[in-house]
C-alpha cells in the first residue's frame, strides 16, 4: 500500500482543528500547557491506558466518557499529572464540562488527559482561563501548538500525518505525542493522540489500537519505569467517505497498515528523545520461537541500564547484549545467538553462536559513533521477529531526573 507523509499533524485529516495555549498550570508563560483537538462531528473512538495500579484521575474520567465508543474533543494539560491529588476526579470532570461547553458538545464526548508532577493539588482556575482561549483559536493549523502544549521534558515536538487509500477513497491519519522519561512497555508516561478521517467502527478501532501497541509503544523503553497517566487515544470521524470498516478484511488491513506507519514512526521518535538521550538504540530481534518471546527479548536488550550506558560510551560491550538476552523471562535458547551492531558508519559482527566474534575495537567504536545504533540479534531458535526502541543512558538523564521538580 502506498503511504505518503503529509503536513498538518492531527489536523491533516478532514474535520479536525486544534489549538495550544499557556493557561498558568506551569509558571513560565513561555511554555504552552493546555491544548485541545476538536472534530467537526462526533467520532468513533478508542484508547489504551497505563497498566499502573496508581492511575491519574483523567484516565478514570476518559474511560467512562468513551465507554460508548464516541468522542469529539481531546483536552490535555502538562505541568500537573492530576494524580494522587485530593480533588482529581472532580477537576477532570469539570474540565470536560468546560471544554464541551466552549464548543457546544456534551461533556461525555470529551477525552481528558494530564501529564506532569504526581501528587500536587490541581486547580480549576487555569482551565477556566485557558479553555475559552483555546476554543476561540481552534484552527486547521493548530497541530503544532497542540503538540507543543503537551511536551514536558521532551526536546522536540512529535507530530506526523499520512495519506493513504481505502477502497479508492483518500484517508488520512494524524498524530501528536509526548514522551521522554518513564517510557517503558505498557504505556509509560506517554501521551499519544491520533486522529483519522477514515470511517472505522469503535469496536474495530479498539481492536486495531490494542493489537498495534504491542509492536509499537509497548516495544520502547527509556528508563524501565511505567507511569500513572499514559494513554494513547484514537478518533476516527469518517469524513473521508470510505465504507465504514466494521469487520476484518482488506479495508481493515489497510487501516492497520497505515496506523502502524504512524505509531512506529512515533515510537521511534519518542525513544530517540528519551530523557537526556544522545542516541537511539534499535534492537531488531530475529529467530525467536514465538512473537511474544521476540518482543520480550528485544525489549530486554533496549532496557538494560548497563548496555544503555555502554552505548553512551560508544563501547561495543556485546557481553551486555548477551546478558540482557539471558535474563529475559521467556523460553528460548541463548546458546547460538548472533549479534551485529550497525549504524550509518558501518556494521560489525561482534558475536556468533553466543561466542566472541573476532572484530577490531576501533572499527566497532567507529560504528557506535552515530546517533542511531541498530543491534541485530538472531537467536536462531525459530521464525518470529520483533523490533524495540530505546535510548542511551547519559549524564543528562540523571541531571534531569535528579531535579525534575525545581
Q: Please say which residue, 137 or 333, places its beta carbon nearer to a second copy.
A: 333
Q: Please say which residue, 28 or 406, places its beta carbon nearer to a second copy.
A: 406
Is residue 403 near a second copy by the rule CB under 8 A?
A: yes
Is residue 114 near a second copy by the rule CB under 8 A?
A: no
Instruction: Give the span between the Cα atoms of 218 and 222, in whole angstroms.
Output: 11
Nearest to 280 by CA among 366, 388, 159, 390: 390
Is residue 371 near a second copy by the rule CB under 8 A?
A: no
Residues ≥6 apart with Cβ < 8 Å to 342: 348, 367, 373, 374, 376
Instruction: Give the span between the Cα atoms of 118 and 84, in whole angstroms.
Output: 6
Cross-strand bridge partners of residue 347: 342
Q: Least CB distance from residue 93 to a second copy, whole Å?
A: 18
Phi and psi at 136, nearest 5°, equal: -85, -10
Helices (H), 150-290: 202-215, 250-272
Is residue 152 near a second copy by the rule CB under 8 A?
A: no
Instruction: Give the span between the Cα atoms of 398 and 383, in whole angstroms.
Output: 39
Instruction: Give the span between the Cα atoms of 38 and 18, in whole angstroms.
Output: 6
- Interacting stretch for a second copy, rule CB under 8 A, among 15-23, 253-261, 298-306, 340-348? 298-306
Phi and psi at 88, nearest 5°, equal: -55, -50
Grid cell for residue 331: 523460553
Q: Give the one residue of 24, 69, 132, 224 binding a second copy; rule: CB under 8 A.
A: 224
User: Catalytic pick from 21, 50, 95, 189?
Assistant: 189
Q: How many CB atoms lie within 10 A of CB 202?
A: 21
Is residue 360 near a second copy by the rule CB under 8 A?
A: no
Q: Please say which residue, 226 or 284, places its beta carbon nearer to a second copy.
A: 226
Q: Please say which residue, 242 or 328, places its beta carbon nearer to a second copy.
A: 328
Pairing verdict, β 280-288 and 384-391: antiparallel
Buried b / exposed e along 334-347 (16+ C-beta atoms within 10 A): eeebbbbbbbeeee
Burial grade of 118 (CB within 10 A; 0-12, 13-18, 19 or more): middle
Encoded one letter per residue, x for contact with a second copy by CB under 8 A and - for no contact, window 153-192 reads ----------------------------xx-----x----
Number of residues that bind a second copy (CB under 8 A): 63
Is residue 115 near a second copy by the rule CB under 8 A?
A: no
Q: Please say which residue, 387 or 394, places its beta carbon nearer to a second copy.
A: 394
CB 8, CB 17: distance < 8 Å: no
Q: Least CB distance from residue 32 to a second copy, whole Å?
A: 23
Q: Give the one residue of 52, 62, 180, 242 binding a second copy; rule: CB under 8 A.
A: 52
Is residue 218 near a second copy by the rule CB under 8 A?
A: no
Q: Please say which residue, 253 or 314, places its beta carbon nearer to a second copy.
A: 314
User: Which positions from 301 through 340 interact with a second copy, judged by CB under 8 A?
Assistant: 303-306, 309-310, 312-313, 315, 317-320, 322-328, 332, 334
Is residue 351 near a second copy by the rule CB under 8 A?
A: yes
Residue 293 annotated in active site: no
User: Which positions from 250 through 289 interact with a second copy, judged by CB under 8 A?
Assistant: none
Nearest to 160 by CA among 142, 137, 181, 144: 144
Is residue 226 near a second copy by the rule CB under 8 A?
A: yes
Encoded one letter per residue, x for contact with a second copy by CB under 8 A and - for no contact, window 76-105 reads -----x-xxxx-------------------
Nearest to 103 by CA among 16, 170, 33, 190: 16
C-alpha distances (whole Å) from 157 to each of 9, 10, 146 are 11, 13, 10
Q: Please say which residue, 120 or 366, places its beta carbon nearer to a second copy.
A: 120
Which positions lie near a second copy, rule CB under 8 A?
Answer: 51-55, 81, 83-86, 117-121, 181-182, 188, 223-228, 303-306, 309-310, 312-313, 315, 317-320, 322-328, 332, 334, 351, 354-356, 393-395, 397-406
Which residues are identified as catalytic?
189
Amino acid at each position: 500500500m502506498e503511504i505518503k507523509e503529509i503536513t498538518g499533524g492531527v489536523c491533516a485529516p478532514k474535520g479536525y482543528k486544534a489549538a495550544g495555549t499557556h493557561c498558568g498550570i506551569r509558571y513560565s508563560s513561555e511554555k504552552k500547557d493546555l491544548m485541545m483537538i476538536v472534530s467537526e462531528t462526533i467520532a468513533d473512538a478508542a484508547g489504551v491506558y497505563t497498566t499502573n495500579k496508581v492511575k491519574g484521575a483523567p484516565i478514570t474520567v476518559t474511560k467512562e466518557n468513551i465507554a460508548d465508543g464516541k468522542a469529539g474533543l481531546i483536552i490535555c494539560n502538562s505541568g500537573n499529572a492530576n494524580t494522587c491529588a485530593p480533588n482529581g476526579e472532580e477537576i477532570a470532570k469539570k474540565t470536560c464540562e468546560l471544554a464541551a461547553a466552549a464548543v457546544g458538545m456534551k461533556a461525555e464526548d470529551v477525552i481528558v488527559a494530564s501529564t506532569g508532577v504526581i501528587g500536587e493539588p490541581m486547580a480549576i482556575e487555569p482551565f477556566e482561563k485557558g479553555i475559552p482561549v483555546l476554543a476561540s483559536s481552534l484552527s486547521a493549523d493548530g497541530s503544532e501548538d497542540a503538540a507543543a502544549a503537551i511536551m514536558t521534558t521532551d526536546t522536540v515536538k512529535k507530530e506526523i500525518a499520512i495519506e493513504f487509500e481505502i477502497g479508492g477513497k483518500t484517508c488520512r491519519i494524524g498524530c501528536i505525542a509526548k514522551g521522554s522519561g518513564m517510557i517503558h512497555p505498557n504505556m509509560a508516561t506517554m501521551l499519544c493522540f491520533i486522529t483519522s478521517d477514515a470511517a472505522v467502527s469503535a469496536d474495530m478501532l479498539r481492536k486495531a489500537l490494542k493489537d498495534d501497541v504491542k509492536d509499537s509503544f509497548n516495544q520502547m523503553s527509556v528508563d524501565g519505569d511505567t507511569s500513572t497517566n499514559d494513554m494513547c487515544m484514537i478518533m476516527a470521524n469518517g469524513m473521508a467517505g470510505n465504507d465504514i470498516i466494521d469487520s476484518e478484511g482488506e479495508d481493515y488491513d489497510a487501516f492497520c497498515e497505515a496506523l502502524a506507519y504512524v505509531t512506529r514512526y512515533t515510537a521511534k521518535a519518542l525513544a530517540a528523545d528519551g530523557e537526556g538521550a544522545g542516541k537511539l538504540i534499535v534492537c531488531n530481534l530475529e529467530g525467536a520461537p514465538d512473537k511474544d518471546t521476540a518482543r520480550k527479548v528485544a525489549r530486554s536488550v533496549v532496557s538494560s541500564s548497563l548496555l544503555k550506558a555502554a552505548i553512551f560510551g560508544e563501547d561495543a560491550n556485546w557481553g551486555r547484549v548477551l546478558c540482557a538476552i539471558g535474563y529475559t523471562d521467556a523460553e528460548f535458547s541463548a546458546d547460538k545467538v548472533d549479534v551485529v551492531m550497525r549504524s550509518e558508519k558501518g556494521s560489525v559482527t561482534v558475536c556468533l553462536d553466543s561466542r566472541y566474534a573476532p572484530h577490531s575495537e576501533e572499527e566497532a567504536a567507529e560504528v557506535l559513533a552515530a546517533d542511531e545504533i541498530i543491534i541485530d540479534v538472531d537467536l536462531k531458535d525459530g521464525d518470529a521477529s520483533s523490533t524495540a526502541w530505546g535510548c542511551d543512558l547519559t549524564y543528562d538523564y540523571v541531571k534531569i531526573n535528579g531535579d525534575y521538580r525545581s
